[in-house]
Amino acid sequence: MTEVKKKKLADRRTLLSNRLIESLKPKNVRYSIGDSEVIGLRIFVFEGGQKTFYYSYTTKDKKKGLEKLGLFGSVNVKEARNTAKKIATEVMNGRSPIEIKISKSGELTVAELVKAFLDRALKAPRYKPSTQKKWRTNVASWIYQESNDPILRAMYAKTKLKIANKKLSECTKDFMKEWHAWIGTKTESQANALVEMLSVAYMLPPMYDAEAADPESAKNYWINNLREKTDTELGVIYNSKGTIKPFF
Q: What confidence score (pLDDT) does residue 122 get? A: 81
For 2-11, 93-102, 121-130, which range has the lowest pLDDT when averaged over its residues?
A: 2-11
Signed CA dihedral, 199, 200, 206, 208: sign only: positive
- Residue 9 has a CB neighbour count (10 Å cut-off) of 12
Residue 141 is classified by DSSP as I
Predicted local distance difference test score (pLDDT) of residue 160: 83
Residue 90 forms beta bridges with which residues?
A: none
What pTM was computed for the model? 0.49
- If one compares 124 and 171, the residue with the highest pLDDT of the two is 124
Tell whether the model's pLDDT for residue 206 goes beyond 60: no
The single-letter DSSP state of residue 167 is B
One-letter amino acid for residue 2 of the chain: T
What average pLDDT score do residues 87-95 get? 82
- Give the bridge partners for 20, in sequence order: none
What does the alpha-carbon distance between residue 31 and residue 71 come to, in Å, rounded to a whole number? 15
Q: Which residue has the higher pLDDT, 62 or 54?
A: 54
pLDDT score of 120: 72
pLDDT tops 70 at residue 204: no
Any residues with CB less than 8 A from the CB of 54 and at least 6 apart, and which? 32, 41, 42, 43, 44, 66, 67, 68, 69
- In this predicted model, what pLDDT tens digit does every residue of 213-244 receive, in sequence order? 455 555 555 545 443 333 344 434 433 333 33
Q: Is the pLDDT of residue 110 over 80?
A: yes
Cα 241 to the center of its chain, rounded Å: 24
Answer yes or no: CATH 3.10.290.10 is held by domain 3-105.
Answer: no
CB contact set of 8 (below 8 Å; sequence gap of 6+):
none
Single-letter code of the amino acid located at 68: K
Strands (E), the chain: 13-14, 31-35, 41-45, 51-58, 64-71
> Which among 59, 52, 62, 61 is positioned nearest to 89, based on CA atoms?
59
Question: Hey, how many other C-beta atoms are within 10 angstroms of the C-beta on 237?
Answer: 25
Least confident of 14-28, 66-80, 125-139, 206-220: 206-220
Distances from the Cα of 187 to the Cαs of 76, 97, 118, 157, in angstroms? 24, 43, 22, 18
Give per-residue pLDDT as tens, 144-181: 999 989 999 999 998 888 898 887 767 777 788 888 89
- The answer to whether 71 and 52 have CB atoms below 8 angstroms apart is yes
Residue 247 has what pLDDT?
A: 37
What's the average model confidence in pLDDT over 126-143? Answer: 90
Q: Where are the domains of the chain?
A: 3-105, 110-235
